[in-house]
Amino acid sequence: MDSVKSVVGGQGDYPISAVIIAQDDEVRISKAIQSCRLFADEVVVIDGGSKDGTVQLSESLNCRVYVNPWPGYAKQREFGVERAVHDWVFLIDTDEVVSDELAASILELKPGLIDQSVAYSIYRIGDFMGRWLDRGEYLVRLYNRKAYGIRNSLVHEMPEVSEERTIRLTGTLWHYGYRSINDHVARFNKYTDLEAESAYAKGKRFRVSHLLVRPPARFLQKYFLHGLFKKGMSGFGVSVFWVMYEFMVGFKLYELIRSGKLTQHNAKKSQIEKEKKGERSYAVQ
């Protein structure tokens, strides 16, 4: 546990490092950085090789910046955590902003960060087409790196912490994830690639029944159970995107499995042909 005293809070506070991974985020990153200033003793930015002014802007805001060619979400996040000065780490993305209430609750918490085994989850709410969605999610974002590591996953690269070791903080993490429909489709395409690849790597099987059941079930869950019907076109749009997400993950998993089987089939066929050629060569001798 760090014994360094915080320069942000009072004496005896346990210092916190805010860690951000970035890639061409000049437009968004400053708000994320500034929202951490009340409680963070340092802000570490890991840049994957931005072509815009992300690095220069982050440096001008007194962040410690490292450029690391993009290795994937989990590895990049872990790279940032390893370069933090302090053991208590707060994870934030470039399109997220800490609310004043959340910043105050973390600042108030700092003197009591004694138990390394306890992690803290934060309520995150996203926007879509100019409206905030009522249904958010709790995500572990504040934890001690001596106790927990980042989950080694293609997607959902968060600390591996059990629910019983997690305490919920008051306040909100605002997720400004929506930029445009085109951008949303592009990111859905990227994330469904990763989701399907992760499922394939785990040996999950493709089932037609999943495509028949999961997409409509997801729409019913989001639109009615989660109350997105109250959000007009924004709620309807998000619900439809989740239907697309389920379809795309399913079809991409099928494509990967089919491609893998074809590769195995072709390799086996090639091996048989080589063996036959060897037999013919031996027969000629």
Q: Which domains does the chain have, with CATH numbers?
A: 16-175 (3.90.550.10), 181-275 (no CATH)
Q: What is the DSSP string of 103-164?
A: HHHHHHHGGGTT-TT-EEEEEEEEEETTEE-S--EEEEEEEETTT--B---SS---B---GG
What pLDDT is attached to residue 13?
Answer: 85
Q: How confident is the model at residue 152 (pLDDT cuts 50, 70, 90)?
A: confident
Rg (CA), the chain: 23
Angle between helices 208-220 and 232-284 (to 10 degrees): 160
pTM exceeding 0.95? no
Residue 48 has pLDDT above 50, yes or no: yes
- For 164-189, what is each residue's pLDDT tens digit? 899 999 999 999 999 899 999 999 99
- For 198-216, what is each residue's pLDDT tens digit? 999 999 999 999 999 999 9
Mean pLDDT of 82-92: 98
Q: How confident is the model at residue 21 (pLDDT cuts 50, 70, 90)?
A: very high
Percentage, residues of the chain above pLDDT 70: 86
- For 228-285, what is each residue's pLDDT tens digit? 999 999 999 999 999 999 999 999 999 999 998 656 655 555 665 565 555 554 444 5
What pLDDT is attached to residue 151?
Answer: 83
